[in-house]
Structure 1
Amino acid sequence: MSLNKNKIVVYFLLFLCSILSAQEKEQDTTKVETLEEVVIVGESNVMSVSKKLFTVETIKRKDIANVAGNNLADVLFNNLNITVNPDASNGRSTVSLFGLDGQYVKILLDGIPIISDNGLGNNIDITQINLDDVERIEIVEGSMGVLYGDNSVAGVINIITKRGLNDNGWELQLSLQEETVGNEFEFFDKGRHIQNVKATNQVNEKLSYSLGISRNDFAGFYNSYKGKDYVNINTQEGSVVNDSLRGTEWNPKEQITVSGNVNLDVNKHNFFYKLQYFNEDLDIYDRHVNGRYLNGRLNPTAVDQKYNTNRWVNNLNISGPLHGATKYNFTFSYQNQKRNYKEYVYNILQRHTDSVLTDAVSQSSEVWYSKAFVNNIISKSSFFDLQLGYEFTNQSGFDAIATGDYSSDVVKNTITNYELFGITEFQPSKNLSINPGARFTNSSQFNSHLIWSLSSTYDFSETLKLKAVVGSAYRAPNFEELFYYFVDSNHNVQGNPELEPEDGISIFTNLKDSYIIAKEGVLNPSFTFFFIDLKDAIASITTEEDGRTLFTQDNIDYSKRLGFTLDNSFIYKNWNIGLGATYLGITNAINESFNNSSDYLWSLNLQTSLAYKITKWNTTISSQLKYTGKTQNVFTNTNNELFIGETDAFTWLNASIRTDISSKISATLGARNLLDVVSINTGTSAGAHTTPTSSSRLIGNGRSYFLKLSYNLNF
C-alpha cells in the first residue's frame, strides 16, 4: 500500500480537526515558570555538565517527544550551530560544530565517552544513538579539555539517561511509529518503521530498574532507483542493460537497541549501572549488474555488501558524600564494538546468495575507562574551593579496510592515557567567581599534554549575567590518519604514524538577561562571542617516496573560527518562541594562496522554533525552522587547481502536533523537511576568474510524514 503526499496532507488536516473537537475541558490559567537550570557537576546530579563553568543548552524530554525523536540525528537538525552530515553511501550521520567535524566534538552517555568505529566519543554515527530512555541532552560549545580530555575541541554533547519513577510501582511504555521516506511508504517495507517497549519498576524510594528494546527499520530512500531485485533485461537480445538504476539512493539499515539500568541508593550513596546492546545491519547494493549465462540461461548477478555492527556498553557510576559537603564521583566503563563485513554474489532473478566472497571482521574496538573526582574539598571556605580527579583510558582495535583489506598487514593499535585534572574556584565577592583549571595527560602514543582553562562569571543583577570561558583541548589523530595504507601500481596513499595531536584554544563570552513582559511573559536574550584557534592542524600533503608521489598527512595547517551568536527565547502564556542567529567566519592556512578581501570566509545561520500548548485539549503544536546560509570553502577543479567555491544555502522546516488522547494514550503527527530538500550544490564558483566543477551533495530524503502512537500504563 503506497501513500502519496496529497493524501497524507489530507490525513494531517483531518487528524488536527479531530483533536481540536475531541475534548471540552476548561482551559486553566497558565503561569509563567522559570526554566530549570542544569545541575552543577558534584551536586545532586553528578552526570550533568557544569552550568557553573559553562553555558549549557538543554534539549528536554518534552522537546524530544514533540518531534518524535528516535535517535540523536532526529533532534540535532534544529540546533543553531550544529550541522548534521549524512552520508548516503555508508549510512552514517555525523555532526559538525562551528564547521569542525565530528572528530572535534565529544559525545557522552551519562558523562562517559561512547565507543565509535575508530575512537572514543568522537565522530560517532549519531543515527546509532537511541533516545528511548533519555531524560535530556546537554550541549556545550567551546574547548572542554580540562573536564573531558582529548577531542572535546569544539564542544561536548552529553546524553542523560532517565532514572526511576516518581512513585513506587510499574510503568509500561509502548510506542509505534510509522514514517514515510519522501513519498515512499509501504507497511513492512518502504519507509521507516519504529517500535519501542520499555518497563520500569520503582521498587521503593531507594531502588528502581528498567529494561527496554527499540527497533528502527529504515528501508532506504529509493528516489529514482529501483531496489535490490531490479534488473533491466533486453528481451530481444537476451542481455542485461546496465542503466545503474539498481539499489537505492540511501542505503537501508535496521537497528536494534536493548538497554537496561539499575538505580540504587544505599544510605547517602548512589549506584547506577547501565547495560546497552546495539545491533545494526547495513545493506549496500551494487548498481552494476553482471549479465552472465548459466546453463544457457541468462543469470544476472551483482556483488553486494553487508555491514553488521555489534556494540556492548557497560557503565557504572557511584557517587556520594565523603565528609560533610565534600562529595565523590566514581565511574567505570567497559565497551566493545565489532563490525563485520560481508561481500557476496547476489542472484537477482532467483533472489538468493550464490557465493560469499568475503566474510570477516572489518573493525574492532575495545575500551576500558575510568574516571573519578572529588569536589567541594574546601567546603568550609566561602572564598576558595577545589575539585580534583583522574581519568584512565585504554583503547585497542583495528580497521582492516583502512590498513590492509583483510591481509596479513592489518594494523592493530593500542593507546593508553593516564590523566589528572583539577579545577579551583575563587569567589572574591558575592557576584564574581573565577575558576582556573588544568589537566595533565600522559599518553602511550603521543607526547604528554597540559590542558588548561579559565572561566569566570559575574552577576550584574539577579538576571543579567556575564560568563567568559577560555580553554584548551587537543584532537588526537584518528586511526586512518595514522595507519591508512593503499598502495598498488597506481596508488600510493599512506597514513603517518608520526602525527601529533592538534592543539585547540577557544574563547567564549556570553551575556544573558531576563525580562518580565506584560506580567505573564518572559524574554531571555543571550549574546555570545566566540573564537576557536587550531594549531598544528592535520592536512593532506604530497611528497616523494622511492621516486613515486606519496599522498599522506602532516601537522602543517592551522584553522580559525570567529563569530557571534544572538539567541532569544520568549515565553508568553501558552506560547514558547525561539529565535537565533550565528555569523560564522572560517579561515585556514590554505587561504593564504588567494587574494581575498577578507581572511575569513563567512556564513549566516538562522534558527527559529515555535510551540503553542492548547491546554483545553492537552495538545502541543510545534515547528522548527533552520536556515543554513551559503558557505565558502576551498575546492579542487578538474585541473587540480585550488579555488574558493560556495556551497548552496538551504532551509529545513519541521512541524508536528502532539496530543494526549487519554491519560494513557498519546499521539504525535508531523512532517520533517517540509520544504523537500534532497541535495545542494557544492563547489560552485565564488569568483569570476575560476573554471571550477560543481557537484551535488545529498543532505535529505525529501518531505516525510510520521505518526507515532504511545501507550503508558502505570500500576
Structure 2
Amino acid sequence: MSLNKNSLFFLTIIIFCTNISISQETPTMEQDSMSMQKLDEVVLTGESKVMSLSKKLFAVGVIDQKDIAKVAGNNLADILNYNLNITVTPDPSTGRSTISMFGLDGQYVKVLIDGIPMASDNGMGNNIDITQINLEDVERIEIVEGSMGVLYGDNAVAGVINIVTKRGPDGVYKWQIQLSAQEESVGSEYALFDKGRHIQNAKVSYQISDRTSVSIGGSRNDYAGFFNDFQGQNYVNIQDNAVVNDSLRGMEWNPKEQLTAYGNFNTRIGKHNLFYKIQYYDESVPVYNSFVNGRVDSNTGMVNPTALDENFDTQRTINNLNLTGPLKGPTIYNLSLSHQKQKRYYKQFVYNILQQGIESIIADDLSQSSEIWYSKGFVSNLVPKSSFFNLQLGYEFNHQTGFDAIATGEYSSDVVENTLENYDFFGVADFNLTDKFSLFPGARFTNNSQFGNKLIWSLSSTYDISNTFKIKAVFGSAFRAPNFEELFFYFVDSNHNVQGNPDLDPEDGISLFLNIEEKFRLSETGMLKTALKSYYFDIDGKIASVIDVDEQDRNLFTFDNVDRSRILGFSLENSLIMNRWQASLGMTYMGESTQIDASEDNNNDYLWSFNLQSSLGYTIPSINTTLSAQLKYTGRTQIVQSSTNGNVVGQTDDFTWMDASARTNITKNLSLTLGARNLFDIVRVNATDSPSGTHGSGGTPSRLFGNGRSYYLKLLYNLNFN
C-alpha cells in the first residue's frame, strides 16, 4: 500500500482552518432523527413532485446525513449492516461486500444512483459491491421494500436501494468547503502508514445563482488489510538456506485502495430542472500468494524466495443526466440518460520477497469490460382532472456491450464481445376506489436481445384506515433476468472449462409483500411507530451452477435453470422518539425452502432463522453531543446444498454485532466523531456451508464476517461563506 501522507495533510488543514473559523458561536445541536430504520413516506429521487405513486405504494426507509454522520459511514457497507432485513456478506479474498434482502442475494436487489441503475461487474444495478459506493456526496439513502419490477425492471424482486446525491451548498451560503480525515484501526492493527484504514475527503460547492449550483470533490479510502495471524507481503520463513512454506505469508483480508472523484451540476431552466453527475472510481486490490517458491540463486548459492502475486484494478466512469419538469399543467415528465464504463485489469507477477519488488510480469490483461448506454423516461399524472383514475406511462432502454474473463491457454480464442439490449415499456394505473382504498395495477413489457419478450406485472393496494393506521400490499412477478456473467462468462484453458449459458431463461414466480403500520403520538415530542411486515417469494427456474460435459467429454462448469426457492418471513419493527432519546427495536423470523434440482425429489421443508436489531441514541444539547449504539443479532442460518452424498443442510452459526459512537460539534465549523465497531470482536463464525476453514483453525469450516474490534476517529471541517 502507498504511504498515507494525505492523512497528515488533511489533519493539518483541518486544525489550521479551525483556528481561523469565521465564527466562535456554537449553536445548539438539532434533534437527531429517530433511527436508521425509520419508515417515512417519501418518494424516490427523480420522482419527487413527479410521481406520487411510490409514496402511496411502498414502505420507504430513509437513512439521512445525520444517520450517516453518527457512525462515520464512508461507504454503503458501513451503513446497511444495521438494517434488520438486509445482510451484508463480505468476501475477504476479493474485497467485495454484497447484500441480501429478505433472504434474496444481491442479484434480486436493484441499486440506483439518483434513480439510475449503477454499473456492476456483470450488469446494471444488481450484485453491487457496496464498499465501492462512497457516501461523502450523499444526501440520503432510500430503501424501498417489495417487488419493484414494473417500475424498475428485471431483478428488482426484493426491493430497491436508491442513493440520492446532494444538489448544492447547504443553507443560504454561496460557498461550502468540506474537509475530513478519518483514522480507523482494523481490529487491534493500526499504524499511520501501513496498517488500519485511512480516509480523506474534500468537497467544494458553489451556488452560482439562485437557480444554478456546482460541486466537485474527491475521496480516498486506504484499507491496509487485515493481517490476523498472517505476516504480510514481505514475510518468508527461511531455515538452513531453504524456504519453509508455513502458509503465513499474505493476509487474512486483502488490502485495497479506493479513489473517487466527482462533479455535480444542478440548474433550473424556467420550470424545468437539470442535474448532471460525473464520477470516476478506481480500486486496486493486491492478492498475496501464501506459497513461496524457494529457488536458489546459482551465482550466490543463497535462497532467493519469490511468490506469484496478483493485482486487480477496477476503473469506472459514470455520466448521469436527469431532466424533470411539467409537460402540461400538472402532468410531469422525467427523463434520465446515462453512459457508464467499467474495466477490470488483471496483473500476475513474480514478486521478489527479499528485494521487495516485482521481478517479472506474467500477465497484464483486461479481464472484464463493459460499456452501458441507458435511458429512462416517464410521464406522470396523465389524468389530472380525475379524482378516481390516474396513469403513468414510461419506457426504459439499456444497451450493454463487453466481456467477462479472458480465454487463455491451449483451448483459447480471441476475446469475443457480447451485446445485451433491453427495450421496456411500462405503465401503472391509479384507481382511487374510495377516499381510503386505492388499487394500482401495473405491467411492464420487456424485449431482451437474449431471451425475447417477457411480461412483468404487479398489483398493489393501499388502505388508510386512519391518518396514522395504514396498510400497503404488493403482489407481483418475481422476475430476474440472467446477468452478463451467467450468459457470457468464458474461461477455458487446459485446466479450466467455465462458461456461461446463453440459452438461460429468466427466473420467474410470484412475490407478496404486506406492510401494516401504526403511529402513536405519546406527547408533544414523543412518537412511537410500529410496522408489521410479511413477505413471500416463490421463484421457479432459479439459475444455479451445474456441471455438464462438453464435446470433448471434459467437465463443463456452467449455469442452468434448475432450482426452486421459496421464502416466507415476518418482521416487527418499532421506532421511538421521546425528548432527547431515539430508539428502535425490530425482529424478523424467516424460512427458506430450496429445491436444488427440480427434476429430483428433494426434501424442501422450510429452514428458519431469527434476526434482531436495536439502536439507541441520546442527544446532550449542553455539550452539542450525540451518543448512539447499534446492535444486530444474526441468528443461525441453514441452507440446502448439494454434495457428493446428495443434498445436505449446511449451517452458519449465530453471532451478535454491536457498534457505539459519540459525535460532537467542537466549534460551529468543526465536528468530531469517535467510536468503536464490532464491540464483540467478531472475526470468523463457524459455518458448515463454507468450503474451507481459516488459517490455524485445524480445518474447521468457518466464514469470515469481520476483522475484530476496531476504533475510529473522524474530523470534519465545514466552512460556509458568501
C-alpha separation in 2, matches of 1:565 and 1:402: 46
Give how far 1:683 is off. Answer: 1.6
Indicate the residue corresponding to 2:348 in structure 1: 343
Indicate the residue corresponding to 2:683 in structure 1: 678
C-alpha separation in 2, matches of 1:416 and 1:684: 36
C-alpha separation in 2, matches of 1:620 and 1:314: 37
1:554-589 CA distance string (max 9 Å, x none) = 212211110111000011001110000110010111
Letter in 1 for 2:201: N
Letter in 2 for 1:556: V
Distance 1:403 1:565, change over 3 A: farther
Letter in 1 for 2:688: G
1:398-441 CA distance string (max 9 Å, x none) = 11248889942434211111110111111122111211111100
C-alpha separation in 1, matches of 2:30 and 2:361: 67
Distance 1:29 1:711, change over 3 A: closer
Give how far 1:25 is off. Answer: 9.1
Q: How does 1:65-76 map to 2 (within 5 A)?
A: 65-76=69-80
Indicate the residue corresponding to 2:508 in structure 1: 503
C-alpha separation in 2, matches of 1:545 and 1:32: 58
Name the Cα RMSD after superposition: 2.6
Give how far 1:535 is off. Answer: 1.4
1:141 to 141, 145, 152: 145
Indicate the residue corresponding to 2:613 in structure 1: 607
Whether contact under 8 Å (2:400, 2:419) holds in the other structure is yes
Residue 94 (structure 1) aligned with residue 76 (structure 2): no
Residue 109 (structure 1) aligned with residue 105 (structure 2): no
Indicate the residue corresponding to 1:689 in structure 2: none
Whether contact under 8 Å (1:515, 1:522) holds in the other structure is yes
Give how far 1:478 is off. Answer: 2.5
Whether contact under 8 Å (2:99, 2:106) holds in the other structure is yes
Indicate the residue corresponding to 1:460 in structure 2: 465
Residue 267 (structure 1) aligned with residue 270 (structure 2): yes
TM-score by length of 1: 0.91
Paired residue secondary structure (2:79)? helix
Residue 332 (structure 1) aligned with residue 337 (structure 2): yes
1:382-413 CA distance string (max 9 Å, x none) = 11111111100001111124888994243421
Q: How does 1:193-592 map to 2 (within 5 A)?
A: 193-234=198-239, 237-294=240-297, 295-296=299-300, 297-401=302-406, 407-485=412-490, 492-546=497-551, 547-590=553-596
C-alpha separation in 2, matches of 1:626 and 1:336: 36
Letter in 2 for 1:51: K
C-alpha separation in 2, matches of 1:456 and 1:289: 62
1:498-534 CA distance string (max 9 Å, x none) = 1111114211111101112245321100001111111
C-alpha separation in 2, matches of 1:551 and 1:43: 43
Letter in 1 for 2:158: A
Give how far 1:493 is off. Answer: 4.3
Indicate the residue corresponding to 2:133 in structure 1: 129
Give how far 1:204 is off. Answer: 2.0
Paired residue secondary structure (1:299)? coil
Give how far 1:49 is off. Answer: 9.0
Whether contact under 8 Å (1:677, 1:701) holds in the other structure is yes
Letter in 1 for 2:163: I
Distance 1:634 1:42, change over 3 A: closer
Whether contact under 8 Å (1:102, 1:123) holds in the other structure is yes
Indicate the residue corresponding to 1:708 in structure 2: 714
C-alpha separation in 2, matches of 1:440 and 1:483: 24
1:577-626 CA distance string (max 9 Å, x none) = 00001100101113997886x82110001000111111111111011100
C-alpha separation in 2, matches of 1:271 and 1:31: 31
Paired residue secondary structure (2:74)? coil
1:627 to 625, 633, 646: 633
Structure 2: stretches of 5+ with no match in the other structure: 1-23, 691-698
Indicate the residue corresponding to 2:660 in structure 1: 655
1:114-146 CA distance string (max 9 Å, x none) = 011111111111111100010111111222111
Paired residue secondary structure (1:480)? helix
Distance 1:650 1:374, change over 3 A: same
Paired residue secondary structure (1:513)? strand
C-alpha separation in 1, matches of 2:408 and 2:446: 28
1:617 to 616, 620, 623: 623
1:77-98 CA distance string (max 9 Å, x none) = 0011111111011111111112
Deviates more, 1:41-50 or 1:525-534: 41-50
C-alpha separation in 2, matches of 1:608 and 1:94: 22
C-alpha separation in 2, matches of 1:608 and 1:119: 34
Whether contact under 8 Å (2:40, 2:62) holds in the other structure is no
Letter in 2 for 1:120: M
1:7-54 CA distance string (max 9 Å, x none) = xxxxxxxxxxxxxxxx99998997999986413677645599922221
Deviates more, 1:484-493 or 1:455-464: 484-493
Letter in 2 for 1:599: D
Paired residue secondary structure (1:500)? coil
Distance 1:162 1:169, change over 3 A: same
Whether contact under 8 Å (1:400, 1:406) holds in the other structure is no
Distance 1:43 1:474, change over 3 A: closer
C-alpha separation in 2, matches of 1:45 and 1:214: 32
Give how far 1:319 is off. Answer: 0.4
Distance 1:274 1:504, change over 3 A: farther
1:152 to 147, 153, 156: 156
Paired residue secondary structure (1:293)? coil
Structure 1: stretches of 5+ with no match in the other structure: 1-22, 686-692
C-alpha separation in 2, matches of 1:41 and 1:430: 27
C-alpha separation in 1, matches of 2:33 and 2:183: 35
C-alpha separation in 1, matches of 2:385 and 2:209: 34
Paired residue secondary structure (1:435)? strand
Letter in 1 for 2:90: P
Distance 1:602 1:681, change over 3 A: same
1:316-345 CA distance string (max 9 Å, x none) = 000001111011100000000111111111
Whether contact under 8 Å (2:562, 2:596) holds in the other structure is no
C-alpha separation in 1, matches of 2:346 and 2:27: 59
Give how far 1:154 is off. Answer: 1.6
C-alpha separation in 2, matches of 1:405 and 1:44: 56
C-alpha separation in 2, matches of 1:155 and 1:195: 32
Give how far 1:309 is off. Answer: 1.1
Deviates more, 1:531-540 or 1:377-386: 531-540
Whether contact under 8 Å (2:480, 2:508) holds in the other structure is yes
Whether contact under 8 Å (2:95, 2:254) holds in the other structure is yes
Give how far 1:360 is off. Answer: 1.1
Indicate the residue corresponding to 2:6 in structure 1: none
Paired residue secondary structure (1:100)? coil
C-alpha separation in 2, matches of 1:30 and 1:478: 44
Indicate the residue corresponding to 1:120 in structure 2: 124
Whether contact under 8 Å (1:300, 1:349) holds in the other structure is yes
